[in-house]
Amino acid sequence: MKNTPNLSTTIGKIRLKNPVMPASGVFAFWEDIAKIIDLSRLGALVTKSLRAKPSPGNPPPRVAEIPAGMLASVGIQSIGFDAFVGGELPFLRRYNTPIIVSLAGESVEEFVGMAEKLNSVKGVAGIELNLSCPNVKRFGMHFGRDPTMTREIVSKVRGATDLTLIAKLTPNVTSIPEIAKAAEEGGADALTLINSPLGMAVDVETCRPKLANITGGMSGPAIRPIGVRAVWETSKAVNIPIIGVGGIASTSDALEYIIAGARAVQVGAANFHNPYTMIEIIEGLQDYLTRKGIDDINKLVGCLLTQ
133 as an active site residue: the answer is yes
d(CA 302, CA 256) in angstroms, rounded, equals: 10
Buried b (16+ CB within 10 A) or exposed e, 93-108: eebebbbbbbbbbbee
* Mode of pairing for the β-strands spanning 202-203 and 198-200: unpaired
Residue 151: count of CB within 10 angstroms of its CB? 20
pLDDT tens digits, the chain, 307 residues: what are they?
468 999 999 999 999 999 999 999 898 789 999 999 999 999 999 999 999 999 988 999 999 999 888 999 988 889 999 999 998 999 999 999 999 999 998 889 999 999 999 999 999 999 999 997 655 555 545 677 889 999 999 999 999 999 999 999 999 999 999 999 999 999 999 999 999 999 999 999 999 999 999 999 999 999 999 999 999 999 999 999 999 999 999 999 999 999 999 999 999 999 999 999 999 999 999 999 999 999 999 999 999 999 8
For position 252, what pLDDT does the model report?
98
3-state secondary structure 106-175: CCHHHHHHHHHHHCCCCCEEEEEEECCCCCCCCCCHHHHCCHHHHHHHHHHHHCCCCCEEEEECCCCCCC
Select from 152, 254, 144, 261 the least CA-distant residue to 195: 144
For position 143, what pLDDT does the model report?
73
d(CA 56, CA 270) in angstroms, rounded, equals: 24
Measure the CA angle with vertex 103, ends 98 and 106; round to 5°: 175
Identify the sign of the CA torsion 291, 221, 228, 164. negative
Identify the sign of the CA torsion 101, 146, 75, 244. negative
Tell me, rounded to whole angstroms, the distance of Cα 220 from its chain centroid. Answer: 14
d(CA 112, CA 152) in angstroms, rounded, equals: 11
Residue 190: count of CB within 10 angstroms of its CB? 25
d(CA 101, CA 89) in angstroms, rounded, equals: 9
Overall size of the chain counted in residues: 307
For position 57, what pLDDT does the model report?
87
Cβ(61)–Cβ(212) below 8 Å? yes
Return the amino acid letter for 17: K
Q: Which residues, 6+ apart, have CB-to-CB distance to 87 below 8 Å?
A: 79
Domains of the chain listed by start with CATH number? 9-56+76-196+221-300 (3.20.20.70)
* CA-based radius of gyration for the chain: 18
Residue 202: count of CB within 10 angstroms of its CB? 13
List the strands of the sheet with 99-103, edge to edge.
Answer: 20-22, 264-267, 242-245, 190-193, 164-168, 124-130, 99-103, 45-46
Choose, from 23, 118, 133, 270, the residue flagged as catalytic: 133
Alpha helices, DSSP H only, in the chain? 30-33, 81-83, 89-92, 108-118, 141-144, 147-158, 176-186, 224-235, 251-260, 270-273, 277-292
